[in-house]
Amino acid sequence: MSITDIQNEIIEEFSMFEDWEERYQYMIDLGKDLPMIKEAYKTDSNIIKGCQSKVWVHAELKDDKIEFTADSDAIITKGIIAILIRSFSNQHPKDIIDANTDFIDQIGLKEHLSPTRANGLVSMIKQLKLYAIAYQTQL
């Protein structure tokens, strides 16, 4: 499934909810299903800088695709990174680098986050793309 297909699926899922309270609950539920990072990777070098809460992301290249795992100490933030990982994990580095992230605006996420969480969201996207750039150079 392409990144665009996954993002469209996420947009469709979020459109089913009436209000943002339901959407936040859905994000929390997505966070519970997040592919968990191994404790060994919960290091300072894997913390995303620019997030108010702690967010750890680990990336591995498997069969020319990047597999992401993550965790956060905050439930909403964990839901946010879960959405991004669902979109970008198991994709080719070039596809991640080239991926559009307008789906974030289409589900209305950015406008419903505090300024610090919105900055954290941007930092998460940037970090996932930086991993992709690093792995792209290895291919």
pLDDT tens by residue, 89-114: 999 999 999 999 999 999 998 888 88
The domain 3-136: what is its CATH number? 3.90.1010.10
**32 with 125: CB under 8 angstroms?**
no
Q: Where are the domains of the chain?
A: 3-136
Give dist(CA 29, CA 79) in Å, integer: 7
Predicted local confidence at residue 52, as pLDDT = 83
Q: Which token pair is 91?
A: 């994709």
51 catalytic? Reply is yes
pLDDT tens by residue, 41-90: 999 999 999 888 999 999 999 999 999 999 999 999 999 999 999 999 99
**33 with 82: CB under 8 angstroms?**
yes
Helix spans in 2-139 (H): 3-15, 20-32, 75-88, 93-98, 103-106, 115-136
Predicted local confidence at residue 50, as pLDDT = 86
- Average model confidence (pLDDT) for the chain? 94
> Model-level pTM?
0.94
Active-site residue identified among 27, 48, 51, 109: 51
Residue 139 has pLDDT above 80, yes or no: no
